[in-house]
A and B are shown apart, each in its own frame.
Chain A
């Protein structure tokens, strides 16, 4: 009896999330091939995918681990620049774009993961506001550091520098800048596609849902709910938290690589404090710990500002008002009543099932 019913609520919720993502992908693909999508919207498809993955990644830190990170744009930045660098420099070696994209995302994720460890080892010993402050500082450091990174490529190979373009001493005829300090990435071959973004979302969801339903995932959630109790049953808090943070950073890095390879040029300033907050807004608005909510919020809130362009000067004002309206709606009495009733019904259903089972048990 147990095997059949195990995790029924949980797997149902996962399946619904997968279904929503797949349905959205199919509908948008159809609309796109029929030419019913404005160029503005189709240009937003890849960024939306990247933001969705980043939002899921941050939700892992905020919702599952229960720690506030304000530096996830920093991980995206690391993933973006390393990913672009890899994709650009491997252009001749791997001519097939999708494979190059995968390699770029993997390298981006790995380097973001390395950063995650460097930040996580000292910062995860801190709690609450302090972790937020450290990650915030990390985001700014990455942004400023990236502004003085110069990478070029010529017949002799790659040239790195921290001063300026001249200092790289590249061969004048074949030299080409890949990352040009404050200008960021230069003349990138755009290889990100909507399909690749969709696949990345699916992989992310698969890994995150699996993680949440595993030994390590349970340990992370146990630490979130009660650290003292979790340690009293033998959970190694630093190690487990580091794994979750590393995972979160890697996902953000992959999202960054996807994002970076969608634009011919992107500057380090793109991944600033505002972007970190933007991702946090997705997470909070979608519901902390709720992956499906993050996906929906990230999609709506990325598309919305672009849709509001016709308000020109009043765009951000309208955006802010909409944000407030959504928060109010999320917190309204109507919704609370609805959720309460639903929870009560679920509880009643479970109780009825338990009672039925008990009587059957008694008869048998």
Chain B
């Protein structure tokens, strides 16, 4: 059975049908792309997968567990992490602390230790620091660990979001336009990093992207959305040469 099973997923906002009858199935360890023109409903799908929106119909199952109607933090605990299209970092906090927030569920100590810094506080904090630095190294952010997140350049902020998502130890990682605003060289580096991280942390990745070089370069399978409906799916080479997909992107 596939890791993520999406069946007949749909959501309406008033009279607007943002996503309709979407079916997706992602195998464990896969790297899948979700593409489509602006306003096709891609981010809405992410918001439904992470519990930000509650779908009006259809089902979502992660390793057989239902995700519909579960609140965002529970879904995170179940192993889904995401990044955001418009960067949502904890801007007032340091790079290191941004990642450490991601450990909130996995590395814990009692509240008393938080106030008095006794007991397991030191040990757990050190553990978090080490793991956070390990993750930051993957994104070449470890030397800037004490920077305020908002002081990082744009491309690095995007990377920090991925690092923070990885800190939650996810099974499924959802990347919303990870390469937006990056130059071709940065995009190239990002592709390598995504591949590497996927192997190292054993995550399954679903990503939204407009950069076709990235999509065709690393995705093994692609779903194309248009007006909230599935337009095509398949291997990158087939999908990107599909005349319908080209029409949807470029117009008649």
Contact = CB atoms under 8 A, between A and B. Distances in A.
Chain A at the B interface: SS class: helix
B207 interface: no
B250 interface: no
A124 to B, nearest CB: 15
A71 to B, nearest CB: 23
Which of B81, B90, B164, B167 has the most A CB atoms < 10 Å from its CB?
A: B90
Interface residues of B, number: 48
Contacts of A357: 143
A229 B108 contact: no
Contact of A226 (B90, B108, B129): B90
A211 interface: yes
Interface stretch (A134-142, A170-178, A231-239): A231-239
B17 interface: no
Given A233-B81, A233-B101, A233-B102, A215 B108 contact: yes
B100 interface: yes
B104 A215 contact: yes
B114 A217 contact: yes
B108 to A, nearest CB: 7
Given A219-B101, A233-B165, A210 B151 contact: no
A230 interface: yes
B110 to A, nearest CB: 10
Interface string A120-144: 0000000000000000000000000
Counting chain A residues whose Cβ lies within 8 A of the other chain, the interface size class is: 35 or more
A2 interface: yes
Interface in B59-116: 71-73, 76-77, 81-82, 84, 88-93, 97-98, 100-105, 107-109, 111, 113-116
Interface in A217-233: 217-219, 221-222, 224-226, 228-233
Given A231-B73, A232-B82, A233-B164, A214 B105 contact: no
A214 B121 contact: yes
B157 interface: no
B144 interface: yes
A235 B121 contact: no
B92 A224 contact: yes
Which of B77, B114, B116 has the most A CB atoms < 10 Å from its CB?
A: B114
Given A218-B93, A219-B104, A221-B92, A234 B115 contact: no
Interface of A: 2-3, 5-6, 8-9, 207, 210-211, 213-219, 221-222, 224-226, 228-237, 243, 247, 289, 347, 350, 354, 357-358
